A and B are shown apart, each in its own frame.
Chain A
Amino acid sequence: MLEVEGVHTYYGAIEALKGVDIEVREGEIVTLIGANGAGKSTLLMTICGSPRARRGQIRLRGKDITQAPMHEIVRQGVAQSPEGRRIFPRMTVLENLQMGAMTAHPDNFERNLGRAFELFPRLKERQHQRGGTLSGGEQQMLAIARALMSEPRLLLLDEPSLGLAPMVVKQIFQVIEQINREEKVTVFLVEQNAFHALRLADRGYVMVNGRIAMQGTGRELLADEEVRTAYLEGGH
């Protein structure tokens, strides 16, 4: 589904990604864990074309999208719920979802909207409220729902659990699993909450300082001594 090969990304003179290789296969949930500033979000944004990879290649279902215009990449079936959620604050919940549906067929809008409200009933209650007035958890739900409105084949999620109450985190992870199982959406999940993420994922990568330091199945990484000390100690 997604192949990232030797990707280098820079912010000005700073090299944020130093040759990253990652593969996400059709139907999988793959997670990327790592400390703050390791380059996880940069990788997700590089996949979507902003910032651009300076070297290396990104392929989606075999097709090179490394230099594709940003607005074309979503048309290839990639949707992202980005770092910081990036809800349009002065648009209503419904309008945010309509924005998400821009690249999907208009005939499917009602069905997709119904599905989004089914996954996140809170959004239905708040559909006429402005995005900026939602709580953090609701904004996260909206960000995921908005990404789903484009009927993606690959869903990129950037720290969906950040700053949320444990109850909400649990609900969001359930929904991710549900989307993957029921709608056959491939998921690439970036998380700091390594415990939850690795339990959910088929496979995982660990990123350190802009490089992939380790990879394996979710179970293997959970059992790994290094991963445990670096990312799981103290948590849960």
Chain B
Amino acid sequence: MEYFLQQLINGLTLGAIYGLIAIGYTMVYGIIGMINFAHGDIYMIGAFMAIIWFLVTGLLGITWVPLAILVMLVLSMIFTATYGWTIERFAYKPLRGSQRLAALISAIGMSIFLENYVQLLQGARVKPLQPMVQGGIAVMERADGFVVNLSYLQIIIMALTLALMLGFSQLISRTELGRRQRACEQDQTMAALLGVDVDRTISITFVIGAALAAVAGVMVTLYYGVIDFYIGFLAGLKAFTAAVLGGIGSITGAMVGGLLIGLIEAYWSAYFSVEYKDVAAFSILVLVLIFRPYGILGKPEIEKV
């Protein structure tokens, strides 16, 4: 029971990170019908930003941890979002209106480019980050001394993710910007007829997706303490799986899918084998694609006209 609870905490933490990345996939898919395979690498860029800005906060003499983390987060989001914008501008926008496959191939190319770009600039070795937030709460203790631990960092990750999710869903459902995005998602020509600058709305979507991925990148760097140029590949695939599981195009679905993938991984590692945790996650993708291709919260593409 205690072990189960510990894995629940670990799984939710991991799932929150997957969920944040998955939103980027699902939003971009919703608006231009393309799987942005470079999105995982955007998250990797976010993780490297975390280390870079961590060093800068050190140089600036910011030692108060909450402030340092806040500075890391905000700057990483801004810079990673710039990457998101640039990639859309140069790798996808020129291909708009051509076949879907063209943009997809461009995305895969962009992914390979980003990995090599970071490898060249930062080196191939793993980058460590010393733990910034230590300690936690002992939730319960078993007779044999096993302690269920909820670390402060896990609390920060879950709370931050929850806050971002709530803020983000309000943005989509209540604001003018959100309406513009949904309009572009449903009918771009009509949106343009009503005065929506479709290109700009698409750019903003990439910027928001990249900023959320940056948060995931910063969190993962703090959580695991090591990163390298290749982390985006697997995390990207997992988050993509999460987006498909939740129902691609659905933002709530991305979050739910992320949490589920996190939990599946945590429990599989705990009760079966750590080595095969990725197999478990991707088997889910296969099963979903076979039995419920529109995902848990997605809708089959039927509209009354």
Contact = CB atoms under 8 A, between A and B. Distances in A.
Looking at chain B, what size class is its interface with the partner chain?
20 to 34
Given A82-B193, A89-B303, A133-B304, A95 B198 contact: no
Nearest to B305: A84
Contacts of B183: 88, 91, 99
Contacts of A86: 187, 189-190, 193
Interface stretch (B124-132, B174-182, B210-218, B277-285): B174-182
A98 B190 CA distance: 13
Q: Interface residue tally of chain A, by bracket? A: 20 to 34
A150 B195 contact: yes
Residue of B187, B190, B305 with highest tally of chain A CB at under 10 A: B190
Given A86-B187, A86-B189, A133-B304, A71 B179 contact: no
Given A70-B192, A90-B186, A91-B186, A99 B305 contact: no
B196 A132 contact: no
Contact of A91 (B179, B192, B195): B179
Nearest to B303: A89
B192 A71 contact: yes
A108 B212 CA distance: 35
Contacts of B153: none
A50 interface: yes
B110 to A, nearest CB: 27
A99 B192 contact: no
A48 B182 contact: no
Interface string B275-305: 0000000000000000000000000000111
17 contacts: A49-B192, A50-B189, A50-B193, A71-B195, A71-B197, A88-B186, A88-B187, A88-B190, A89-B186, A89-B303, A89-B304, A91-B183, A99-B191, A100-B194, A102-B194, A102-B195, A102-B196
Interface of B: 176, 179-180, 182-183, 186-187, 189-198, 303-305
Interface of A: 48-50, 69-72, 74-75, 79-80, 82, 84, 86, 88-91, 95, 98-100, 102-103, 132-133, 146, 150
